[in-house]
Amino acid sequence: MMTLDASAATIMERCDILACYSEESGRLTRRFATRAMRLADEAIAGWMRAAGMSVQYDAIGNLIGRYEGESAAAQALLLGSHLDSVRDAGRYDGILGVTTALACVERLHERSVRLPYAIEMIAFADEEGLRYHRAYMGSRAITGTFNVDILRLTDVDGISIAEAIRAYGGNPDPQVLRTPRWRREDLLGYCEVHIEQGPVLETHDLPVGVVSAIAGQDRITLSFAGEAGHAGTVPMALRRDALCAAAEFMFVVETLARRQPGLVATVGQVSVQPGVSNVIPGQVALSLDVRHQDDALRKKAREQFYERARKIGSQRNIALDWQLIQETPTVSCAPALVQRFEQAVVEAGYPVLVLPSGAGHDAVVMSELTDIAMLFVRCRGGISHNPAESVQQEDVAVAIAVLERFLASLSEKRGI
């Protein structure tokens, strides 16, 4: 049987291989339903088949591998994470969860072990939302909660979501995308291994931690519409500069968020029109991401940001457009599954640290269908959404050991 170290080394190699399947040379960018995604999917599908899984794609292009349990009628435990990435991404965000789940199934297959439940492993097609600015499209489709009104949204090349799904070999039929893959009673839960993407585990010198809850999140797009004009002739007092309004707003966002403990708010995208050095900016579109563990405080902050944006606009005679495009509440991990992960960490020989997640995960949406739990793996410097993302092979070996113990504990005592 493969040692834990050998399995962890395989995971590291696979993360390196998958990092090469990118839309951009020299850096990792893998959006929903692209050729780069197809190459990553096909690599994973091959490893799934070799690990004794049956493999299929669902309507939106999630890749699903099934490892049967002792009996065909058994309930299923879902394991997984996402294969898409942000722009210029690290190689572990999402991918580590997929490859760790795969390693655990491989190790069962190698010993010809069948569990009293089936494992369905999901490599989600879209979590980050890079291509269409809507996160969680993969988990939305698989849980039958997909907002079919967005099928007409287009990417930078004018390709709609429906067209992208079709081109990838999927089925954009709204009814199909609104049908959950499983019934609640057929599932034991959904578990996701993920890099922490923060510094807490490193601070505590721990390889892994158990997640308690995942912070709620708003995604907003807003724009300021002023008036374009000549940079040399329009006096400062007469300008309606949309970029200056946006700059003032960004400063307000930072200032208010710094004042409220636990609140994080980010303007990550700015597009300036016409974007010419000798033209006063007439139109600016911004993204705004707002998160807090406490849903009421998140909503309150959002309202404050909106009020301040409105005020900045009216003081400068600039029109504001504000759209809340996505809102997810804080979700708790299921106490019974959290407890099993805690026990598994103890059995693997490590102290238990339970911590919340500031990042969003596929588990957020899966929680609408079934119980969820997550295991975090330490990453260097807490750095993520950055090519410098780094994990240690020894920590990955601990994650495999913990997930294996978790799987075993579900075998011993059915019903959670």
Q: Which residues bind Mn ion (CB under 5 A)?
A: 93-94
In the chain, how long is the greatest CA-to-CA distance? Answer: 79
Please identify, using beta-carbon distances, which residue of 253 and 359 lies nearer to ligand GLV: 359
The closest alpha carbon to 224, from 141, 283, 276, 184, belongs to 283
Min separation Cβ 385 and Mn ion, Å:
6
Q: Are 148 and 174 in contact (CB under 8 A)?
A: yes
Q: What CA–CA distance (Å, rounded) separates 111 from 213?
A: 34
Binding partner of residue 216 among Mn ion, ligand GLV, none, CB cut-off 5 to 8 Å per kind: none
Please identify, using beta-carbon distances, which residue of 61 and 94 lies nearer to Mn ion: 94
Q: What CA–CA distance (Å, rounded) separates 97 from 384?
A: 14
Binding partner of residue 122 among ligand GLV, Mn ion, none, CB cut-off 5 to 8 Å per kind: none
Binding partner of residue 360 among Mn ion, ligand GLV, none, CB cut-off 5 to 8 Å per kind: ligand GLV
Binding partner of residue 123 among ligand GLV, Mn ion, none, CB cut-off 5 to 8 Å per kind: none
Please identify, using beta-carbon distances, which residue of 34 and 75 lies nearer to Mn ion: 34
Min separation Cβ 307 and ligand GLV, Å:
25
Q: Are 24 and 85 in contact (CB under 8 A)?
A: no
Task: Report the residue closest to ligand GLV, judged by CB.
Answer: 360
Min separation Cβ 360 and ligand GLV, Å:
3
Min separation Cβ 128 and Mn ion, Å:
5
Binding partner of residue 389 among Mn ion, ligand GLV, none, CB cut-off 5 to 8 Å per kind: none
User: Which residue's structure tokens are 């585990």?
Assistant: 201
The closest alpha carbon to 80, from 54, 100, 51, belongs to 100
Min separation Cβ 306 and ligand GLV, Å:
21
Identify the DSSP state of 157.
T
Min separation Cβ 213 and ligand GLV, Å:
14
Please identify, using beta-carbon distances, which residue of 151 and 364 lies nearer to Mn ion: 364
Identify the DSSP state of 334.
P
Please identify, using beta-carbon distances, which residue of 181 and 361 lies nearer to Mn ion: 361
Please identify, using beta-carbon distances, which residue of 60 and 359 lies nearer to ligand GLV: 359
Q: What CA–CA distance (Å, rounded) separates 236 from 392?
A: 54
Please identify, using beta-carbon distances, which residue of 41 and 128 lies nearer to ligand GLV: 128
Binding partner of residue 58 among ligand GLV, Mn ion, none, CB cut-off 5 to 8 Å per kind: none
Min separation Cβ 335 and ligand GLV, Å:
23
Q: What CA–CA distance (Å, rounded) separates 226 from 240?
A: 5
Q: What CA–CA distance (Å, rounded) separates 48 from 51?
A: 5
Residue numbers of the site for ligand GLV (CB under 6 A)? 128, 359-360
Binding partner of residue 248 among Mn ion, ligand GLV, none, CB cut-off 5 to 8 Å per kind: none
Integer-rounded Cα Rg, in Å, for the chain is 23
Binding partner of residue 334 among ligand GLV, Mn ion, none, CB cut-off 5 to 8 Å per kind: none
Task: Centre a 10 Å sphere on the Cβ of residue 204 and count the other Cβ atoms it contains.
Answer: 12
Min separation Cβ 90 and Mn ion, Å:
9
Min separation Cβ 72 and ligand GLV, Å:
36
Please identify, using beta-carbon distances, which residue of 29 and 273 lies nearer to ligand GLV: 29
User: Which residue's structure tokens are 């080394």?
Assistant: 9
Please identify, using beta-carbon distances, which residue of 93 and 371 lies nearer to Mn ion: 93
